[in-house]
Structure 1
Amino acid sequence: MRPGSLNADTVAYIPARLGSERVPKKNLRHLGGRPLVTHVAETALQSSGLDRVYLNTESSEIAAAAAPTGIDVYMRDRRLAAAHVSTDEILYDFARATPCEVIVVINPTAPFLTVTTIDRVVTMSKDSSPEATVFTTTRLHKHLVVGGEPVNFSAAGRSPRTQDLKPFDYINFIIFTIYREKVLTQYEQRGFCLYVPPLVFVPMSGLECHDIDEEDDFLVAEAMLRRS
């Protein structure tokens, strides 16, 4: 299904391609007895901040696996499923076909994401400066080294306690929001859109930050589900 003329204020999509370099068919891999992609799909569909939610995929197999959730499907061109394709390209393709004000992208590999966080990020998008792109982040209280050099501690002094270190945030890509018009304008003028200012960052913490990228991440997620 393609959105066509359907109009809504805030539209989300969950990007899910069949190919996965580190974990084969990751989005179809079962977690807690059901495909990984269905966890986030069911959560997103419960959000009061989203007017419409799509699964954005090139794979009929993934679409079929997510069908029991009732999610709408945006079938993208197979060329957009290649490993080298950028998020900017996928955003632009979706934005061209989907009338809306704000696009919300939700990572299917974060199965512990909550409705509360989705709604909080959407609210932040609407409350921020016009045209702001909002990213979720994870905070690190660690001794950081970049290029072999200390970042937030000194090699010339005593080792600081972890809690005394300057924290650093990294973009976790679990959720981000971007204005559709910004995608269209910036991509057509510059060939990219994702990191064009203004940018706003929303911190996340705890279990919700668990993102499945490697085989071991699945094992950790399964253990978390058993404990809960």
Structure 2
Amino acid sequence: MIENKKVLAIIPARGGSKGVPRKNIRNLAGKPLISWTIEEAKKSKYIDRLILSSEDDEIIKIAKEHGCEVPFVRPNELAQDDTPGIEPLLHALKEVEGCDYVISLQPTSPLRTADEIDGCIEKMLATNSPACVSVTEPTHSPYWMYKVNDKEKMIPLIEQDRFAIRRQDLQAVYALNGAVYVAEVDWLKQSKSFLTEETAAFIMPNNRSYDIDTEEDFLWCEYLLKKSSER
């Protein structure tokens, strides 16, 4: 709870995954991937209730074993490859009522910390915004990116008055990292998106912004987690 408002955290985790099969429950540095998110969410100062949204029996079983509540089973039609990411969250908000703020915590962000979850909530309130999402500065700036036309000529992705050679001369830009999404429940039900011109940004460092989508992502996160545990 924060400022007398109740906070619901949802971990959306479907069984299907093409890039890394069964990744949500695959062993990552000694425990299932999803458990890293559950453990950090349970450390939050503000989360009142932590639930899982999944259609998969094995994911549900493992989430329960690690202390995550599973008040419903997600309908299969909301667990398809083409299901918009907001739909399982809106479904969960119909199933679980009585909260003022909602947080979406994807299990594919195992390096995100409880402090960053809480920081995102605090940023939303501090900026008087209806939503806040975590972002990070991308490794490659879009100001150095190009399209190639049908004559195989390079066209700048972003038009500029002058080309910046040094990285420090580039305008700062940020990309979604998928780690934390926070919003007022009523606002989210109306907007059906965390991302509008009213959304605030919570900046996270690159080394905690990895979103596991490929086998290489998985192996790199495992390396970082093992290295961190050795300190």
| Pairing 1:1-228 to 2, within 5 Å after superposition | 9-74=6-71, 75-99=73-97, 100-129=99-128, 132-140=130-138, 142-144=140-142, 145-148=145-148, 149-151=155-157, 160-186=165-191, 192-228=192-228
Q: Structure 1 118/156 Cα, relative in aligned 2: closer, same or farther at 3 Å?
A: closer
Deviations 1:170-215 (A, max 9, x none): 11221111111123334xxxxx433344111111103211111100
Larger deviation, residues 159-168 vs 211-220 = 159-168
Post-superposition, which runs of at least 4 consecutive aligned residues in structure 1 deviate over 4 A?
151-157
CA distance 1:127–1:61, change in 2 (3 Å): same
Identity %: 27
Give the SS at the match of 1:85: coil
Distance in 2 of aligned mates of 1:154 and 1:86: 34
- TM-aligned CA deviation for residue 142 of structure 1: 3.2
Deviations 1:77-115 (A, max 9, x none): 121101111122122111222221011001101111111
Please tell me whether the aligned partners of residues 142 and 167 of structure 1 are also in contact (alpha carbons under 8 angstroms).
no
State the superposition RMSD in angstroms: 2.2
Q: TM-score scaled to structure 2, two decimals?
A: 0.84
User: What CA distance in whole angstroms lies between the structure 2 residues aligned with 1:128 and 1:73?
Assistant: 32
Number of matched residues? 214
Flag structure 2 segments of 5+ consecutive residues without an equivalent.
149-154
Distance 1:206 1:171 in 2: 11
Deviation of 1:146 (Å): 4.8
How far apart are 1:225 and its partner, in Å? 2.3
1:27, CA displacement in angstroms? Answer: 0.3
Matching residue's letter, 2:111: F
Against the structure 1 CA distance between its residues 196 and 153, is the aligned structure 2 distance closer, same or farther, given a 3 Å change threshold?
Answer: closer
Q: CA deviation at 1:153?
A: 8.3
SS of equivalent residue, structure 1 residue 38: helix
Q: What one-letter code is carried by the residue in structure 2 that aligns with 1:169?
A: Y
Conserved in 2, the CA contact under 8 Å of 1:49 and 1:123? no
- The structure whose residues are more often strand, as a share, is 1
Amino acid in the other structure paired with 2:110 = P
Runs (5+) with no aligned partner, structure 1: 1-7, 187-191
